[in-house]
């Protein structure tokens, strides 16, 4: 496993990718949760100024492509580390939508694009998997290099009931194996955003004081 290949990244096989696609539609709870995430993402894109070019990274199976494609003249680039996720995205989305999106495989640590090449990087459900601060900083710095203007990213933060409950469960776990997902303290991640050269434009909570999901909109500080 190379230095920048994280253990969690290897789990997105074809079977897992198909399951991931169906997961968000499986139960009423999941459908409501997906609806709320789409709503938060739409608000984030509006706060980012309705960017004309967007890199959806990681795009997974294209859950947010219909939302991104709502702006008719938007250029949509989409990338993911997992070829399987990209293959499922090609299978499950309609041709009219696929015609709008340019997908390619890549790691968030090493985006094969020049400096300042898109208006916005749209990064849903990646950072809560990135447990090491040095890895988060490397990804944030790569985003800072590639975006011209803004980034939207979602992750799990503290300061709510679910995070407290998770903390208690973690404390009780005797068998401490590899941790796949983590809650990051707001003050820690917000400092890391600054360290990578971003200022916070705003944020949206999934359900304030209850749920862990928070979506931040960041603006590149060119200095």
Ligand X SMILES: C[S@@+](CC[C@H](N)C(=O)[O-])C[C@H]1O[C@@H](n2cnc3c(N)ncnc32)[C@H](O)[C@@H]1O
Residues that bind ligand X (CB under 6 A): 9, 12, 58-60, 63, 80-82, 85, 107-109, 124-126
Question: How open is the CA angle 21-49-201, to the nearest 5 degrees?
Answer: 90
Kindly tell me which of 128 and 220 has the beta carbon lying closer to ligand X: 128
Kindly tell me which of 47 and 67 has the beta carbon lying closer to ligand X: 67
CA distances from 95 to 63, 86, 89, 165 (A): 15, 14, 11, 43
Kindly tell me which of 34 and 201 has the beta carbon lying closer to ligand X: 34
**Closest distance of CB 199 from ligand X, Å:** 24
**Closest distance of CB 198 from ligand X, Å:** 19
C-alpha 172/C-alpha 5 separation (Å) is 29
Strands 147-156 and 213-220: antiparallel
CA distances from 91 to 58, 87, 94 (A): 17, 7, 8
From the number of C-beta atoms within 10 Å of its C-beta (0-12, 13-18, 19+), residue 114 rates as exposed
Cα distance between the two ends of the chain: 35
Kindly tell me which of 52 and 105 has the beta carbon lying closer to ligand X: 105
Whether the Cβ atoms of residue 76 and residue 64 lie closer than 8 Å to each other: no
C-alpha 210/C-alpha 92 separation (Å) is 33
* Residues recorded for the chain: 223
Residue nearest to ligand X according to CB distances in the complex: 60
Kindly tell me which of 55 and 124 has the beta carbon lying closer to ligand X: 124
**Closest distance of CB 58 from ligand X, Å:** 3
**Closest distance of CB 108 from ligand X, Å:** 4
**Closest distance of CB 30 from ligand X, Å:** 12
**Closest distance of CB 189 from ligand X, Å:** 17
Kindly tell me which of 63 and 220 has the beta carbon lying closer to ligand X: 63
């Amino acid at each position: 496993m190379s230095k920048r290949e994280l253990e969690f990244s290897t789990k997105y096989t074809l079977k897992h990718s198909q399951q991931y696609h169906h997961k968000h539609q499986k139960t009423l709870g999941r459908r409501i949760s997906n609806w709320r995430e789409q709503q938060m993402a739409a608000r984030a894109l509006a706060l980012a100024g309705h960017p004309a070019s967007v890199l959806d990274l990681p795009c997974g199976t294209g859950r947010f492509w219909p939302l991104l494609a709502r702006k008719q003249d938007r250029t949509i680039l989409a990338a993911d580390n997992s070829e399987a996720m990209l293959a499922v995205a090609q299978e499950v989305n309609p041709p009219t939508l696929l015609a709008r999106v340019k997908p390619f495989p890549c790691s968030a640590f090493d985006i094969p694009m020049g400096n300042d090449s898109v208006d916005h990087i749209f990064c849903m459900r990646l950072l809560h998997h990135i447990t090491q601060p040095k890895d988060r900083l490397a990804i944030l710095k790569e985003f800072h290099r590639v975006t011209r203007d803004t980034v939207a990213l979602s992750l799990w933060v503290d300061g709510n009931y679910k995070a407290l409950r998770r903390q208690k469960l973690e404390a009780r776990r005797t068998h401490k194996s590899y941790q796949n997902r983590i809650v990051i303290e707001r003050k820690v991640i917000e400092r890391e955003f600054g360290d990578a050269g971003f200022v916070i434009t705003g944020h949206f909570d999934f359900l304030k004081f209850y749920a862990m999901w928070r979506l931040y909109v960041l603006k590149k500080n060119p200095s």
